Chain A
Amino acid sequence: MANNKNFSVIGTRPPRVDAAEKVTGRAKYGSDAQLPGMAYGKVLRSPHAHARIVSIDTHAAESLPGVYAVVTSADLLSAEERAARVAAEDWGFLAACDQTLAHDKVLFAGQPIAAVAARTPTLAEQALALIAVEYEVLPAVVDVLDALRDDAPLLHPGLRTRSLAAPSEQPSNVAVYAQQLKGDPAQGFAEADVIVEREFRSLMVHQGYIEPHVSTAEWNADGKLTIYADTQGLFAVRDQVVWLLRLPMSDVRVTPLEVGGAFGGKNNSYVDVVAALLARKAGRPVKVTMGRADTFLGTGPSSGTVIRLKLGATREGRIMAAQAALYYEVGAYPGSLAGSGAHVMFGPYVFPNAQVDCYDVVVNKPPTASYRAPGGTPATFAMEALVDELAEKLGLDPLDFRLLNSVRNGSEDLDGDLYHHIGGVEVLEAAKAHPHYTAPLAGPNRGRGVAHSYWGNWGARSSCTITVNPDGTVGLVTGSVDITGTRTSVAMQAAEVLGLPLERVKSSVGDTDSIGYSDVSAGSRTTLATGTAAIRAAQDVIAKMSARAATIWEVPAESVTYQNGVFAVAADAEKRFTFAELAAQLPNTGNTVIGVANVDVGEWGASFAAHIVDVEVDPETGKTTLLRYTAVQDVGKAIHPSQVEGQIQGGTVQGIGWALYEGYVYNEAGQMLNANLLDYKLPTALDLPMIDPVLVEVPFPGHPFGVRGVGESPILPPPGAIANAIARATGARMTQLPMTPAHILKQMGKI
């Protein structure tokens, strides 16, 4: 199919199937859930970054008229159950409980302590203020390097560093340590003519979805629970609720509503279990809505980082060796992101010799979660800034230097795995050929920068059913939440296979009772993997309808063909049904047919991106203005080119925010100082030029149409590209994200 260029649906730009509902305000989001008798839930959070909970007194809150329920950790786990879990050393379960409602200790400011359900949101807020919590405040550790010191406060006295070797003997704040070694780095640096080395830092950043997390829970009289969720994964919510509340899976139905942005941050469930606990205790449906401060403090941001990087190259421009140490804050509970960062930053180029040390470090900050290309953006920033400096020192064009060292099909990555079917070189060549790269850039304090990136993408499990209606339309249902337009891009693939116009394919997302297991809509996987499920389900429809036609015509099933929307038998021109004609026959010839596919896509294609940006830096204030932006990316095959462009534009702008504006600011006690959208600045329309997306199509052969994931790649290059443009504009190299005016002036030697 990949060779068939005569697509009728693939590659077109129809309005997305959810457009009309969304532009009229009728689309129902998680926060729009309204049920009869519904109460409003709010969560009390710790103001302290590290403290022992001495006591929680909820009596005054419970006595307030209009308050229906107050819950604490005791409602999640009784003392006996807790003791049993402790005896069983079930630390993962206990940590998940503590992150839902803390038991005896808080490890970050914003950790949930208690929750209230009341008649109105105002009453719920008033009740929260009546809950008296006594804390014994403990010393907090906020900075990733401070957490490594011998005298640092330990967050988890039982935490031993996990690595390929045996767990560490001493408790530590290092959750995971990993080292990658390739070749002989010392020898490689000895053979290098030019060596550059820098330390890069970045702050925690938030996904910044505009709709805060929300969950509405309703218990039926038969003890079954329904959750109206705001999530990237209906099954992820079900699994979390079933796990923590110890319920049979069949007792919990999760219905996903529209999602107001997610970007990885809604893979995790934060308020679903709390809503279920409140609803059970209150005996009525409860909607728990986070506010914006709750969202900053109580959900998972992306890691703050320190990355030390050293690169060496020959005079001719061949990279000989790299040495890197990546220190990633994983927040208050063990996690792992540094390894992903290393994989991403070393992805674009050939490194004959390298040593990479990765440290995932716990600190008294919110536990981190995925954010678009998890772990990759600060790492790509470090690599691209230093690669650019190396090219400059060698007197080489920055794209030529990258092309010279670019991975190609058959190149080895740091693990010794080989690259296949990649488009890295094609992307770099397209960037070089783009008029932007050679356009004159006149004027003082201006500079042009480029950066390149690699992202691996994902496949995994998806399910799809397609039901044929008697009028020749079909109903397509998947288990993949649609946040970006995937209802449309998945339906387009089914329509192409079925030979139907898109309008005849009604595309929707099911609930956990009605569709097979599907992984979260994340990792740029949905158009690839759920698209594959849709293609297989469509093929199943055609096979079943062909069999039905064979029965009606009394011919062997294998003699029936389906082409250009027509079922036919080659030997007999009389035997001919259009899709709609055969669909009309189905009810009276044995009932309808449903095409079904449950897939686990084990192969996916990596994605490369190269960005070009022009900036102007005000030498007095350090303010950076973006003048022009071009984003080149290998997209495999663009099913819906406008949606692919939208992914590139949106991801690029998130990367621009990371580059110039965004970051969690903490005081020494571990309290966030900018937990609002005034002091934590997201890019606005006024801060940006048009983002010009350039789609390079190098098909991924593992997908019938050549699809590659496209969502995550574009966030990776902007910080490096902008840093390199600022370097050309000012002569100063940037080493920190965000590149605030203060940092720029400092690097320029002005302050």
Chain B
Amino acid sequence: MTKKTLVSATINGEETEFLCEPQQSLLEVLRDGLGLTGTKEGCNDGNCGACSVLLDGRLVNSCLVLAVEIEGRSVVTVEGLAEWPRLHPLQKAFAENDALQCGFCTPGMLIASKALLDRNPHPTEAEIRAWLAGNLCRCTGYDKIVRAVQAASGE
């Protein structure tokens, strides 16, 4: 059995310590270890974006990050978006614009959209489409997702 490593990180603004095996992905630890199941697994090889999280503010696929790599760093997942009970403007826009069906890609889409708006508060449609190209949605055809991001950006 592989010996576990103690990792300290800030997750959704909270100082967190956890034990993990060296081969475990951040995605596996978030979901199975920390109970943060809002982050989803669709492919486990970086091609669907369902596991998107922010790592020190940067958009990453958490299936491609080793859990031990987040030592001393900051992670934001979908559970950290709302300032409960107030939804994040993106969450509100997704709900109001019907930008989800099954909802499985939604956490990743929200995180990716936040990463976009943090850098570019008023993106064009083309910029939104390019930025979200790493997040697959099979239900919506993306139309209402793009419109929700536009609504949240105030465009």
Interface set of A (CB-CB < 8 Å, partner B): 13, 15-16, 18-29, 31-32, 34, 65-66, 120-122, 207-212, 258-263, 289, 291-292, 483-485, 642-643, 645-646, 649-654, 676-678, 682, 684-688, 690-691
Q: Which residues of B contact A686 (CB under 8 A)?
A: 129-130, 132-133
Set B82, B103, B135: member contacting A27, Cβ < 8 A? B103
Q: Which residues of B contact A261 (CB under 8 A)?
A: 101-102, 104, 138-139
Interface centre among B94, B132, B140 (most CB of A within 10 A): B140
Set A291, A653, A685: member contacting B129, Cβ < 8 A? A685
Q: Is the beta-carbon distance between A690 and B143 smaller than 8 angstroms?
A: yes
Interface centre among A22, A65, A210 (most CB of B within 10 A): A210
Set A23, A29, A687: member contacting B87, Cβ < 8 A? A23
Set B77, B101, B106, B128: member contacting A485, Cβ < 8 A? B101
Q: Which residues of A contact B23 (CB under 8 A)?
A: 122
Q: Which residues of B contact A485 (CB under 8 A)?
A: 98, 101
Number of B residues near A (Cβ < 8 Å) is 62
Q: Which residues of A contact B13 (CB under 8 A)?
A: none
Q: Which residues of B contact A25 (CB under 8 A)?
A: 36-39, 77-79, 107
On whether A649 and B143 interact (CB within 8 A), knowing A16-B98, A260-B102, A677-B43, the answer reads yes
Question: B26 contacts the other chain (Cβ, under 8 Å)?
Answer: no
Question: B154 contacts the other chain (Cβ, under 8 Å)?
Answer: no
Expressed in whole angstroms, the minimum distance between the Cβ of A119 and any Cβ of chain B is: 9
**Bound-state Cα–Cα, A27 to B122, Å:** 30
B81-121 Cβ-contact flags toward A at 8 Å (1 or 0): 11000010001101111101111111100100000000000
B4-22 interface with A by 8 A CB criterion: 21
Expressed in whole angstroms, the minimum distance between the Cβ of B78 and any Cβ of chain A is: 4
**Bound-state Cα–Cα, A292 to B102, Å:** 18
Q: Which residues of B contact A645 (CB under 8 A)?
A: 98, 144
Expressed in whole angstroms, the minimum distance between the Cβ of A568 and any Cβ of chain B is: 37
Additional A-B contacts beyond A24-B38, A645-B144 (5; CB < 8 A): A260-B40, A260-B102, A642-B98, A649-B144, A691-B141
Set B45, B100, B128: member contacting A676, Cβ < 8 A? B45
Q: Is the beta-carbon distance between B98 and A211 smaller than 8 angstroms?
A: no
On whether A210 and B133 interact (CB within 8 A), knowing A13-B98, A25-B78, A646-B144, the answer reads no
22 residue pairs bridging A and B, Cβ less than 8 Å apart: A20-B87, A23-B78, A23-B87, A23-B100, A24-B81, A25-B37, A25-B78, A25-B107, A29-B40, A65-B1, A210-B40, A210-B50, A210-B138, A211-B50, A212-B42, A260-B104, A261-B101, A291-B43, A684-B132, A684-B136, A688-B143, A690-B125
Interface centre among B31, B91, B101 (most CB of A within 10 A): B101
**Bound-state Cα–Cα, A116 to B129, Å:** 41
B124-155 Cβ-contact flags toward A at 8 Å (1 or 0): 01001110111111111111111000000000
